[in-house]
Amino acid sequence: MKEDFEARHIDRIRARGWALQILYRWEAEGSEQPVSTALRHTLETRRVSPARLPYLRRLIGGIEERTEELDRRLEGALDNWSLGRLATIDRAILRLGALELLFFDDIPPKVAIQEAVHLAERYGGNESPRFVNGVMDALFKSTDARP
């Protein structure tokens, strides 16, 4: 049982990493195509473990379905910033974290925040982890978090 939990946890961590790469690519290419196009291209050119695909698809599908709402809610949590001014990687991390925080009932809010901070530590700049933590905390506190 514990091994199953740990394996699922690792698969979700790695799926988040894949989702971040896909979102980064999507924005770098102009974000005019649906984000699912970037997912499809990634799956055609890279080998993603089958165990990670369901969560990866869930993340990308959620972003595709809710980008406007996520961006609106994130804008409300940013203090003296706008999403457009953020580094592409930080924006992608915040979108993923906000998606899990606001819409994934099976992910506890503190876990969603912590996983976003971990992505920022791994992929963002020096200030990214603290910045992402602050925005995610503000997003959580500004609402009941989940609609």
* pLDDT tens profile 51-77: 999 999 999 999 999 999 999 999 999
* Predicted pLDDT of residue 143: 72
Residue 117 has pLDDT above 90, yes or no: yes
* Predicted pLDDT of residue 1: 58
Residue 124 has pLDDT above 60, yes or no: yes
Residues ≥6 apart with Cβ < 8 Å to 115: 12, 13, 16, 97, 100, 107
Judge contact between 52 and 11, C-beta under 8 A.
yes
